[in-house]
Amino acid sequence: MSLNQKSEHCKLEEDVQAPKEAQSLEGVQAPVAEEEEATAAAAAAATSAPSSSSLTPVIPGPPEEVPAAEALQPLQGPQRACLSPTATTATPSSQSDENPRSQEEEGPSTSQAPLDPEVLNMRVAKLMEYLSVKYTTKEPVTKAEMLMNVIREDKDHFPVIFKKVCECMEVVLGIEVKEVDPASHTYAIVRALDLTYDGMLSDDQGFPKTGFLILLLGMIFMEGNCVPEEKLWDMLSMMRVYPGQEDLVYGEPRKLATQELVKEQYLEYRQVPNSDPPSYEFLWGPRAYAETSKMKILKFFARVSGTDLTSLPSWFEEALRDEEERAQASAASGDDTPAVASASSSTTSSSPPSPE
C-alpha cells in the first residue's frame, strides 16, 4: 500500500484529509502518479514530527502528580506539527556523543535564508520516501546518496531536512536512522529500541507500526504498569487515533492493540477482576519485557521531549529498580537467557528481569 494511503493522518492541521477513495486506485495508477502521491503523502507524514519548541519539558511538578497523557504531550495533538525551518537547534538531551546525527544537525549558516515551510515539507517528503524504501530493502544509505538522489537542489539545507526526517520517522514510525560509519556518513535504518516487530505484512506494504507499539508501552508504564482500556483510548484520541476508525498509518487501532500486539505477546489485554459491566486493561506482555525495558522506554520519551531523566524521579527510580533486578536475575541464571514473565503478575512492582 502506498505511503499516500498510510500517512495522511499525521497532518494535525485543520485541513481535510485526502479522500479515502484514493485507496481503491492502488495498483492501477501509473508509476509517475504513484511516485507523486507517495511523495505528497510523505509530506503529510512529515507534519507529525514535533517541533523543537514542542519538545520542551511539559511536566510542571512531581511526576507522581502528572498523568501519562501530560507526560506524552509532546507526541500528541497540535504539537505534532511541522518542524519550522528556524527551529532546528537540538536540545541538550539530544546532543550527546551517542547521537549519530549530531554532526548533521548544525543547520545552514545564519546568513542563509531558511527554506519556505512548504518547500521544506516537500524536501522532507522526498527524503522520507527514499529512506522508507531503504528500510524495507534493509539497505544502508550514505549522505552522498541522499544529496545526489533526493536533495540536489537544496544541499545547503540538508542538516535541517535530515533532522526533521529523522525525528518524524522515530516518533511516528518507531524507526531510527543510525550512523554506522562516520567516515563515509553511512546510515542504517532500523527499528527503535531493538524491537523486532514492525507490523508490516510484506516488504512493500504499509508503514511500520513500531511507533504505535512504543507509544502504548510508554502509556502503560507511566500509568503504573497497567492502563484501563478507556483511558488508553482517551490518550490516543489526542493524536486523532480512535478505536474502530481506520487509521491511515496504524490500520484499525483497536484490532492492532487488542489482537495483533496481544498475539505477538507485546501486550496483555485482560478483563478487570470483578468489573460489571466488564471492563478491560492493558499491560506489558512477555515479549515486551524480553526485548525492551522501562529504562529504554523512559529514555526514548525523555529524549524526544527534551526532558532530563532527573526531572522524572518517580519513573526514573522505578526504571532503575527494573534494571537492577534484571542484572541480578541475569547474574543468578549464569547465562544470557532472558528471564521473561507476564506483566500480569504485578501491576505495581518492577517487571520480570531480563538481560539487556
How many residues are given for the chain? 356
Q: Quick check: 185 pLDDT over 90? A: yes
Q: What percent of the chain has pLDDT over 70?
A: 61
Q: Write down the mean pLDDT value for the chain.
A: 72
Mean pLDDT throughout 152-163? 90
Mean pLDDT throughout 271-277? 93
CB-based contacts of 267, cutoff 8 Å, min separation 6 = 216, 220, 257, 261, 282, 283, 284, 285, 288
Mean pLDDT throughout 277-283? 96
- The pLDDT tens digits of the residues spanning 237-270 come to 988 899 999 987 788 999 999 999 999 999 999 9
- The pLDDT tens digits of the residues spanning 105-140 come to 455 544 567 888 888 888 988 898 899 889 989 999
pTM for the predicted model, two decimal places = 0.68
Domains of the chain from N-terminus onward: 3-16+25-193 (1.10.10.1200), 210-345 (1.10.10.1210)
Helix axes 229-237, 210-222, angle to 10 degrees: 120
Please name the amino acid found at residue 45.
A
Mean pLDDT throughout 79-102? 37
Mean pLDDT throughout 163-185? 92
CB-based contacts of 231, cutoff 8 Å, min separation 6 = 223
Q: CA 159 → CA 46, 90, 107, 219, 238, distances in Å? A: 15, 11, 5, 32, 30
Q: CA 203 → CA 206, 209, 228, 254, distances in Å? A: 9, 13, 34, 24
CB-based contacts of 292, cutoff 8 Å, min separation 6 = 193, 194, 195, 217
- Residue 186 to residue 207: CA distance in whole angstroms: 23
Residue 282: all three cell numbers together:
492493558
Q: How far is CA 305 from the centre of its chain?
A: 12
pLDDT value of position 309:
87
